[in-house]
Amino acid sequence: MFPSKKAFSYLLIDLVTNLFFGMIIFLFLIIMIQSFSLSEDIIGFGADTLSLLKIIGCISLSFLPIIIPMSFLFSLLVTYSRLNMESELIAFRSLGISTRQLFLPAFILSLGCSFLSAQLSFYIAPWGQKKLAGIFSELAQSKIKFNLKAGVFSTDIKGVMVYVDSIDKNKTELERLFIFNELDEKNPVAIMAHKGHLKTKKDNKGAYGFLKLTDGSVYKTNEDSHTKLSFSENLINIYDPIKTGSIKSTPMLMDIAQIKSLLSTVKKGSKKFIRAQIEFHKRWALSLASILFSFIGFGIATLAQKRQSKSNGFVNCVALIVIYWLLFVSSESLAKSGKIPVLVSLWFANVLYLFAGLYLFRKSSRI
């Protein structure tokens, strides 16, 4: 039991305040980093303000499972480093509050952060990633439709060139079309048609572009032969977010129930099984990171020298996160290569931080 409810509330409020402050800092940094990598697509697609806000929202949801443990560690180090620097830890101990009791608010908050991170990682983050890919597919499809001009060759679709001799104001009714598809360089395909009708469709996976052709021919060429096929009506998919790679059906985009289902259906030892297994353990390991950070963060903050506490709080946070992430990424790479079992590699960083945290916590308790 905590001997003073006021002291407990004081510590918990300080931790929660710094937690939200840390989330704002790390979220801002991640959005800035992601904006650089996505800037070419955003500018190229001509994203409007609403689309830009949607993109930022989806990025935030996708990275929250990682941001929460990082922010919790930041909160822990800043809060207890300040208490250590201002001798408040000594004052609490003089009132009969033990180290374990001082640690209790942080541990309770770590449980809450782990639960929230797990829910986000299991369900919300995959949804955010699929939604983000869907937004880009919709922007790409809109660009294709907008850039279609009569008498001009359009190359907005990767590996596909489209020429339209005549087009109406709504850019849906096309006449005298030529389409050259060289996605497969060894077997290019050319299509000629007298008329075409552009259709679009949206669903939870993204935006699709269909072209209904009438009265035309398909010309296929390979190394040995040339083939001509005539048609009265032909429906082709000019933009598919799954086939073009905007949205890939991978474990990363699945919720935890879908990953479990995939693990039970695919062959054990196969690439699909290993990838699904990695994603499953990865989400659990990251979800429990806050609990591990509570021990190691509390130990470092309370053991730090007073004159170093204020300046080193944020530095220690960044150092611990970088080391953890390097260990985690390296272990994930080893798991993908098959050199180390997935269970061992994905939990290595967590186990290492757990033992280090328990050691530092025990050392802090002796003070």
pLDDT of residue 8: 87
pLDDT of residue 246: 45
pLDDT of residue 115: 95
Q: Is 145 inside a domain boundary?
A: no
Into how many domains does the chain fold?
Answer: 2
Residue 207 belongs to what domain range? 159-239
Cβ contact 347:281 at 8 Å:
yes
Do 91 and 174 fall within a single domain? no
Phi, psi of 77 (to 5 degrees): -65, -40
Q: How far is CA 213 from the centre of its chain?
A: 38
Confidence category of residue 249, pLDDT binned at 50, 70, 90: low
Token pair for 138: 């919709």
Q: Is 166 inside a domain boundary?
A: yes
Condensed to tens digits (0 to 9), the pLDDT of residues 31-43 reads 888 777 666 666 6
Q: Is 244 inside a domain boundary?
A: no
End position of a domain, from candidates 239, 261, 277: 239
Confidence category of residue 208, pLDDT binned at 50, 70, 90: low
Q: Is 301 inside a domain boundary?
A: yes
Do 133 and 260 fall within a single domain? yes
Q: Is 256 inside a domain boundary?
A: yes
Do 114 and 217 fall within a single domain? no
pLDDT at 353 over 80: yes
Q: Is 154 inside a domain boundary?
A: no
Q: Is 12 inside a domain boundary?
A: yes
Q: Is 151 inside a domain boundary?
A: no
pLDDT of residue 245: 45
Do 276 and 130 fall within a single domain? yes
pLDDT at 366 over 80: no
Condensed to tens digits (0 to 9), the pLDDT of residues 267-285 reads 888 888 888 999 999 999 9
Continuous segment of H or E residues that includes residue 166: strand 160-167
Question: What's the whole-number mean pLDDT along residues 127-149?
Answer: 70
Do 125 and 258 fall within a single domain? yes
By mean pLDDT, which of 48-57, 69-78, 324-333 is the weakest?
A: 48-57
Q: Which residue is associated with the tokens 């050392």?
A: 363
